[in-house]
Structure 1
């Protein structure tokens, strides 16, 4: 039976009875999130810049970003694995931090119900930042995980929702960190000095709020019997993070390691074997590509530039000077491949065919793709000029398969996978 002396409403401190809650436990989790979420935010912004959203409307999935796009810069082509690194870290770290985030929210849930709602202006700002922080964190992690799973069911487009949500969340995060980080550091330091340490009893040392205000105390006035030590709780959280890391990080590698990524749809075995047996983000069937449209008789590449328009068959392209590049494919969902050996015609050589000798201009690429996002994409002049940027005709010594973009596809160093357009039909060089 329920103890009649235990309050029934969550607004009463006595309602929350876990002896594990306290400033020290919350502070440790908070410091981990302070570092982790900062990396998440920075890699997210950098990865958004990789799309060159201010280059062309077709690249910009958040056209109303306004002042929030102040940091955008021309995405470089060196190092060639840059996007593979930034987006891989962003997604894998986000998944790994889920247990830490949930533990942190559990540790501070009494504060969401504390009364009165505000005792001062500073306290009111903290409560508002806390509500925005909790709501923003849940929103960002949920939408991110749904996008990684490729079955994105959240209402609205992922790109603007995740982008705007990130700014709301991080703003609240910064306000909360400014208010709480000094106290969090003091709590951890005090526990070490007093000898409580990680393995101390759950009741010891947590005798006040993070900010020293008894009204903010996370310690229950009627704690239940201890069930786990701080060390055990942190091992549980850390073990959960390691489990998620181990079942998702393999998506960034080829071979057996990819099979360990059980939580991610692109984390399974490579699709098939042989030269074309590496990961893809969409199949020819999904994109509406037919054999008739890509046949030797039907398909032509249309180049447009300063001197007019040129039409080339695949046989014509094969007669042009060929070059090779070893480059990976990296996708926004966080998965990537190792370097693949591509062979084809340099983009800057194609630009020269339509009058753009010397420094080539920006490039607008259109695909035969009938459905799905990024049927068209724009590349910056620095990407076109890079000698490793190709209109690829083969990969790993074999003609492209239909799923990898036959008869021709774009491959550019450090670019997101969706900008490496497959089933290319038209290329327009010049002002976009």
Structure 2
């Protein structure tokens, strides 16, 4: 005797399109902010040739703001995504699986959208704690999947536009009035989801918005913890650098008039003070007081053309960010320093002793530590 297995049957008004649309509006805002700020971060770290020499160095705290928003909205999207999936999961078991071409497109867009929407915040959250339990490189895959999610979302919105429009407003024309109990249940659900979003945001956003740092419970970085009260992602030991002896250090500036400087000679040059943040892709940021030699002065001494780009090379022998490049807007900004001191003290080895780059509106991964060479690029 052949047994027939029937698909599960779900009930409850909170699994309806009205609830899904209400949560979807908030989730859409989070995804839009994350996509826009993620695009900014990607361009800042991997600029296309057209923009390589034109990335702006102002506003000074621009990257701190955009990346802080990216991580905050990404974390806030997690309870929204869970709530959204809870409201729509009965539809994943609809039968027959495909009823028409339009329905097939809808199901395909949903499958890609759900997979990508789960992958993006989960992988981003794991990136904030620098845990990578996968064999691929996080940055290019995270970026590629973001575009995949964006395309699937556009397709999904196009297919579901009539239904979304019918339930967009609280009292849309043509929709049935809800019984009082159902209306109360929906408001309670939405209030609980909003409270969850607020809770995870308040307990993590202090890693970049320092006025709320005392509320940090779950953020992977405390902006006050670290050598010289500044966090680090990569220590001198992890980079294989250790502490570099003063007498062995040389800064090589390779340009039309190349030269080299000892550490004492660097210290003897005019020193400048700036207040700039370190803002990392993991979402944490912290402003600090830096003292050092302006990059523009070092380049002028080497005879660099006004619009030349600069390659900054660290003394570490390996690592994805041991080499970075700056366009002329950053290289010739008077706030861009080869820093020798942090908060009035000699740099700690974990902060790049004896010299590191610090520049405005620049990702922390590109604020190269243990700088040993500056190369003028034509």
Common fold by TM > 0.5: yes
Distance in 1 between residues matched to 2:5 and 2:20, nearest whole Å: 24
Indicate if the aligned counterparts of 1:408 and 1:422 stay in contact, CA closer than 8 A: yes
Distance in 1 between residues matched to 2:68 and 2:318, nearest whole Å: 26
Identify the residue that residue 297 of structure 1 maps to in structure 2. Answer: 247
Residue 423 in 1 paired to residue 370 in 2? yes
Indicate if the aligned counterparts of 2:256 and 2:302 stay in contact, CA closer than 8 A: yes
Identify the residue that residue 210 of structure 1 maps to in structure 2. Answer: none
Residue 346 in 1 paired to residue 301 in 2? no
Q: What is the aligned residue count?
A: 374
- Deviation at residue 386 of structure 1 after TM alignment: 0.7
Offset from partner CA, 1:153-194 (integer Å, 9 cap, x none): 222000111011111111001111223245324214364677
Identify the residue that residue 203 of structure 2 maps to in structure 1. Answer: 247
Distance in 2 between residues matched to 1:261 and 1:153, nearest whole Å: 25
3-state SS of 2:248 partner: coil
Distance in 2 between residues matched to 1:323 and 1:258, nearest whole Å: 29
Match of 1:283 among 215, 231, 235: 235
Identify the residue that residue 401 of structure 1 maps to in structure 2. Answer: 348
Match of 2:217 among 248, 251, 262: 262
Indicate if the aligned counterparts of 1:364 and 1:428 stay in contact, CA closer than 8 A: yes
- Deviation at residue 148 of structure 1 after TM alignment: 1.0
Offset from partner CA, 1:329-349 (integer Å, 9 cap, x none): 1000011013x2211111111
- Deviation at residue 269 of structure 1 after TM alignment: 4.5
3-state SS of 2:60 partner: coil
Residue 80 in 1 paired to residue 32 in 2? no
Indicate if the aligned counterparts of 2:77 and 2:121 stay in contact, CA closer than 8 A: no
Offset from partner CA, 1:118-152 (integer Å, 9 cap, x none): 32222221111111100111111221111112112
Structure 2: tracts of 5 or more residues without a match: none
Distance in 2 between residues matched to 1:32 and 1:140, nearest whole Å: 17
Q: Which has the higher helix share?
A: 2
Structure 1: tracts of 5 or more residues without a match: 1-6, 56-69, 205-227
- Deviation at residue 262 of structure 1 after TM alignment: 2.4
Match of 1:381 among 325, 328, 335: 328
Match of 1:232 among 159, 183, 188: 188
Offset from partner CA, 1:378-400 (integer Å, 9 cap, x none): 11111101111110111222211
Offset from partner CA, 1:273-313 (integer Å, 9 cap, x none): xxx2122222222222222xx11111111110112x31111
- Deviation at residue 111 of structure 1 after TM alignment: 1.8
Distance in 1 between residues matched to 2:54 and 2:29, nearest whole Å: 27
TM-score (structure 2 length as normaliser): 0.92
- Deviation at residue 268 of structure 1 after TM alignment: 6.6
Identify the residue that residue 331 of structure 1 maps to in structure 2. Answer: 280
Distance in 2 between residues matched to 1:188 and 1:120, nearest whole Å: 25
Distance in 2 between residues matched to 1:53 and 1:399, nearest whole Å: 33
